[in-house]
Amino acid sequence: MIEHIRNSLLEAQTALNNFINNEQTLRNIEQAAQLLVNSFEHQGKAFSCGNGGSMCDAMHFAEELTGRYRNNRPGIAAVSISDPSHISCVANDFGYDFIFSRYIESHGRSGDVLIAISTSGKSPNVLNAAEAAKKLGVKVIGMTGKPGSKLEALADVCICAPGGDYADRVQELHIKVLHILIEMVERKLSPQNYV
C-alpha cells in the first residue's frame, strides 16, 4: 500500500512540475488574474460554475472572495452557480444543459467575469454558460484539463491543466490555480495584507 501512496504523490508532483514549467500557462494565469482585478475595480462580479468536484471548486473560489482567504479585508463580489433550487428548477423546465447559462442570462452584466470549470473542456452546461456570457460581454476564464477543447475556444483566456489520465489530478491543479487567482486579486485590492 505504501508504494501506491508514494506513486500517487509522485504522479501529482510530476503534474505540478510540468504545470510550473509551462510559461504560457503562467502567462494565462496572470491574464486571468488581471481580468478579475479589472472587473472588481469597476464594481463587477465573478461567477463560477462546474460539475461535481468542479462545482465544489467553483463554490470554494466564491466563498474565499466573499469571506476571507488569508487575512481580513472587505468582501469581494463572487457567486458560484450552485443554488439547488435554481438548478432543480432550470433542469426541470429547460434541461440540465442550461442550469448555468440561465443564471448568467439572469445575473451577468458586461464587465463581469465567469470562471467556467470543466476538466474535459466539453461539459454542455459549462459551454452554454460560456456562450451566454460572451453574448452579454462577460469575460470568460476557462479552466480545463484538455488542450484544444471547446471551452478553450470560447474562453477569453484558458488555463489548461493536463494532470494525467484522470480528472483528479486536473482538479488538484485547478484548486491551486484558484488559490493563486484569489491571492493575485488580494494583492491588488488589499495590498496591506501582503506587506
Q: What is the pLDDT at residue 146?
A: 85
Topology of the domain covering 2-194 = Rossmann fold (3.40.50)
Give the span between the Cα atoms of 164 and 166, in whole angstroms: 6
The pTM for the full model equals: 0.96
Give the span between the Cα atoms of 66 and 49, in whole angstroms: 16
Give the span between the Cα atoms of 183 and 179, in whole angstroms: 6
| Residue list, annotated binding site for Zn(2+) | 60, 64, 171, 179
Confidence of residue 18 (pLDDT cuts 50, 70, 90): very high
Q: Is the pLDDT of residue 60 over 90?
A: yes
Q: What is the pLDDT at residue 162?
A: 85
Q: What is the pLDDT at residue 164?
A: 72
Cα-Cα-Cα-Cα torsion 151, 153, 154, 159, nearest 10 degrees, comes to 60
Q: What is the mean pLDDT of residues 74-84?
A: 98
- Mean pLDDT, the chain, integer: 96
Phi-psi region of 117 (alpha: psi -120 to 50; beta: other; left: phi over 0): beta
Q: Is the pLDDT of residue 165 over 90?
A: no
SS3 label, residue 78: strand
Q: What is the pLDDT at residue 137?
A: 98
Q: What is the pLDDT at residue 115?
A: 98
Domain boundaries, the chain: 2-194
| Residue list, annotated binding site | 51-53, 60, 64, 92-93, 118-120, 123, 171, 179
Q: What is the pLDDT at residue 116?
A: 98
Q: Is the pLDDT of residue 163 over 90?
A: no
| Residue list, annotated binding site for substrate | 51-53, 64, 92-93, 118-120, 123, 171
